[in-house]
């Protein structure tokens, strides 16, 4: 009875640890290094009050809890906003040139080692304000890129949204969870062995 209670408690703790990990938001506490048109100076961040100074292309996710965006391009054409949940919104800050059919701009965002898990997907979720969508690229587990060269913006100050996800594979248990489960299994095996030994002793004594 006690063994069952111990194993049950360990299993519950393992499940709780797994749920706590799953509750981590994809970009929670992330730090982003950005570039625009291949230049670090092309992107300015909220942590530097959007001022074009060295290092202003690095910013944390909404560090002050009041900003509507993390970055603005140095030419003030685009505004870029990330949320803890992994939602990326890009706004065109200047009305499109009526004589131009497409937009322009290449962006890159590197989260470095600040993510709790590697990025696994990067997909468009809202392009209703666009005639032609951007090209999204998941470079590696911590870097994404956008190509806005073919984007057609339908109206002034239009925007689009994309979703980033960062989850550990579901079939690979977290280290803490795996350790607890192994401890539970070891405890169960030890208990069975002890009961087996006791049963043999009782059987020998009765002969």
Tens-digit pLDDT string for the chain (207 aa): 544 544 444 444 444 444 444 457 899 999 999 999 999 999 999 988 899 899 999 999 876 666 679 999 999 999 999 999 999 999 998 765 555 545 568 999 999 999 999 999 999 999 999 989 999 999 999 999 999 988 888 877 899 999 999 875 554 454 554 555 455 555 555 556 656 555 555 555 555
Structural contact between residues 60 and 130, judged by C-beta atoms closer than 8 angstroms: no
Residue of 162, 125, 117 lying closest to 141 (CA atoms): 117
Please tell me the predicted confidence (pLDDT) of residue 154: 85
Query: For residue 89, what are its two tokens?
Result: 């919104």
**Do 134 and 160 contact (CB within 8 A), yes or no?**
yes
User: Is the same domain home to 116 and 182?
Assistant: no
Query: Does one domain contain both 148 and 46?
Result: yes
Structural domain boundaries, residue 46 = 27-165
159-165 and 106-110 beta bridge pairing: unpaired
The verdict on 98 and 181 lying in the same domain is no
Q: What is the pLDDT of residue 13?
A: 40
Torsion of the alpha carbons at 183, 189, 193 and 199, rounded to the nearest 10: 120
CA of residue 18 relative to chain centroid, distance? 16
Asked if residue 62 belongs to a domain, the reply is: yes
Number of domains in the chain: 2
Question: In the prediction, which pLDDT does 21 show?
Answer: 43
Tell me the C-alpha distance between 186 and 3, whole Å. 11
């Amino acid at each position: 009875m006690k063994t069952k209670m111990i194993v049950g408690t360990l299993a519950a703790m393992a499940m709780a640890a797994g749920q706590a990990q799953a509750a981590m938001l994809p970009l929670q506490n992330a730090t982003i290094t950005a570039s625009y048109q291949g230049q670090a100076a092309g992107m300015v961040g909220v942590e530097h009050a959007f001022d074009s100074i060295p290092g202003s292309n690095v910013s944390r996710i909404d560090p002050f809890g009041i900003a509507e965006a993390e970055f603005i391009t140095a030419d003030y054409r685009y505004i870029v906003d990330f949320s803890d949940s992994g939602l990326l919104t890009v706004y065109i800050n200047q009305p499109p040139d009526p004589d131009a059919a497409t937009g322009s701009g290449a962006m890159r965002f590197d989260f470095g080692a600040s993510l709790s898990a590697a990025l696994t997907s990067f997909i468009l979720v809202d392009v209703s304000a666009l005639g032609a969508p951007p090209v999204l690229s998941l470079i590696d587990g911590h870097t994404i890129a956008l190509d806005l060269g073919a984007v057609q913006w339908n109206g002034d100050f239009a925007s689009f949204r994309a979703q980033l996800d960062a989850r550990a594979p579901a079939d690979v248990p977290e280290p803490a969870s795996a350790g607890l489960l192994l401890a539970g299994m070891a405890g169960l095996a030890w208990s069975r062995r002890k009961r087996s030994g006791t049963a043999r002793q009782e059987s020998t004594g009765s002969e």
